[in-house]
Amino acid sequence: QECTLKVQDGKFKLQDLLVVPMQRVLKYHLLLKELLSHSSDRPEKQQLKEALEAMQDLAMYINEVKRDKETLKKISEFQSSIENLQVKLEEFGRPKIDGELKVRSIVNHTKQDRYLFLFDKVVIVCKRKGYNYELKEIIELLFHKMTDDPMNNKDIKKWSYGFYLIHLQGKQGFQFFCKTEEMKRKWMEQFEMAMSNIKPEKANANHHNFQMYTFEKTTNCKACRMFLRGTFYQGYLCPKCGAGAHKECLEIIPPCKMGELFRIMGNLCQGGPKMVAVQNYHGNPAPPGKPVLTFQIGDVIELLRGDPDSPWWEGRLLQTKKSGYFPSSSVKPCPVDARPPNSRPPSREIDYTAYPWFAGNMERQQTDNLLKSHVSGTYLIRERPAEAERFAISIKFNEEVKHIKVVEKDNWIHITEAKKFESLLELVEYYQSHSLKESFKQLDTTLKYPYKSRERSTSRTFTRSP
């Protein structure tokens, strides 16, 4: 402080000078480049080259962080404008394009005006409501492929330029219509870019299994040693060996040692390292700080990461492609002659009694009486053995009890043709986080409270000591 006051009566503070190097950091690579151009035969030239590369890398990292901050602001604006949205949009990657299209489900064949938000991982289908949007559908790109529809291009009418988004397992599909051919080209380009990000061509190069990933700490690419740039989804992570990489470096990264081990294990059982569930696992106990993978006895699980000494392994359920962590004691190696089932066991073969939402055989009137005293959002799944549809969802909503039939047909299970599932568990999990309004306009609620949980909490309230 004394020195600062001595220099021109404190007009220029020392603190102001200390921040100058940080303010000029984006110009250092230009100075180094100029130095390099005048150092043709100097012994320090190699060090200058390395310094230039390092400062260029740092400059690109800083600029990408700035861009990501702006992107996150834009995502936040989208988030606040979409009604019924119960997930964070930033989990879906970066936004690619948004705008009005006409959408036709392959199931109902009706063209509808919709507003679409395309991200790296999903396309969000909404209905415009003034300055806001009502969520209608979230389509995961990982499970879809895009195909052109050149036939419609011959029609000179507006909104006749179309392309398809088809589910890889044939569950459902969508047709999108654009106003002009140029508009269609832009949308298809952005869809291709998004699908390339979520499913890069070289994701499995050298026995790796790279996936888009948000690195919480500053990370360097395993191949080129440069920064993975930005604040979210900066690059790709191989969960087997923990290597991070740029998209353009996936092909040149060194081989995955764990991947090679898995490949050898894969020779012992068909198609890769498979494990068979020997007991049901519904998430209790839960893996510390990790996503849960639930399954039934007999399900086949692809092992993604499994230390023999660890109580928790990471895997992917073959039937649903969902991944997560589970107790290593709940599975055993796949037998050599085992063949993974084409689909889950029929719902009639699964025991649901352990689930807090399952009520067993229950009549409609009995259900009404049971749920009447519960809060809105309380639900149960009951059996209807005398009916064609074996299961029904009953839910308390706005002082009424509503009943929804669960249809089982052609190895699929659903409450509406527009959204099909492979199991009752998958259906329940989906509507625990997505509003039933997607299928029933007057029923704007998720499956919030399993009735057994509410009964237990009520019981504890009444039996608690004063």
232: DSSP letter = S
Determine the pLDDT at residue 337. Answer: 37
On whether the CB atoms of residues 314 and 239 are closer than 8 A, the answer is yes
Rounded to an integer, what distance in angstroms lies between the CA atom of residue 120 and that of residue 133? 20
Partners of 145 in beta bridges: 166
Q: What percent of the chain has pLDDT over 90?
A: 35
Coil, helix or strand at residue 186: helix
Coil, helix or strand at residue 13: coil
pTM of the model: 0.56
Neighbours of 28 (CB within 10 A): 17
On whether the CB atoms of residues 277 and 322 are closer than 8 A, the answer is no
pLDDT band at 21, cuts 50/70/90?
A: low
Which two structure tokens, joined as six digits, stand for 15? 């603190």
pLDDT digits (tens, 9 = 90+) for 392-443: 999 999 889 999 999 888 778 888 876 788 788 888 888 888 888 877 878 8
**Choice between 279 and 81, residue whose per-residue pLDDT is larger:** 81
Determine the pLDDT at residue 344. Answer: 44
Would you say the CATH fold of 84-198 matches that of 1-73? no
- Residue 269 pLDDT more than 50? no
pLDDT digits (tens, 9 = 90+) for 319-363: 777 889 998 888 877 654 333 444 444 444 566 777 889 898 888
For the domain spanning 1-73, the CATH number is 1.20.900.10
Which range, 98-112, 228-242, 406-420, is most confident? 228-242
Coil, helix or strand at residue 17: helix
Determine the pLDDT at residue 4. Answer: 60
How far is Cα of residue 465 from the mean position of the Cα atoms in its chain?
44
Looking at domain 358-450, which of 2.60.120.10, 3.40.309.10, 3.30.505.10, 3.40.50.300 is its CATH number?
3.30.505.10
Any idea which fold 274-333 has? Answer: SH3 type barrels. (2.30.30)
Give whole-number Cα distances, 38 to 30, 33, 281, in Å.
13, 9, 67
Question: Which residues have C-beta within 8 Å of that of residue 392, sequence separation ≥ 6?
Answer: 381, 382, 384, 403, 404, 405, 406
> 48-51: long-range contacts (C-beta < 8 A, 24 or more apart)?
none
Q: 3-state SS of the chain: helix, strand, coil percent to 5?
A: 35, 30, 40
pLDDT band at 286, cuts 50/70/90?
A: confident
pLDDT digits (tens, 9 = 90+) for 148-191: 877 655 556 778 899 999 887 666 789 999 999 999 999 999 99
Task: Find out if CATH 3.20.20.140 is the number for domain 84-198.
Answer: no
Query: Hey, what amino acid is at 377?
Result: G
Determine the pLDDT at residue 340. Answer: 41
Which range, 172-176, 228-232, 316-320, is most confident? 228-232
In the chain, domain spans: 1-73, 84-198, 274-333, 358-450
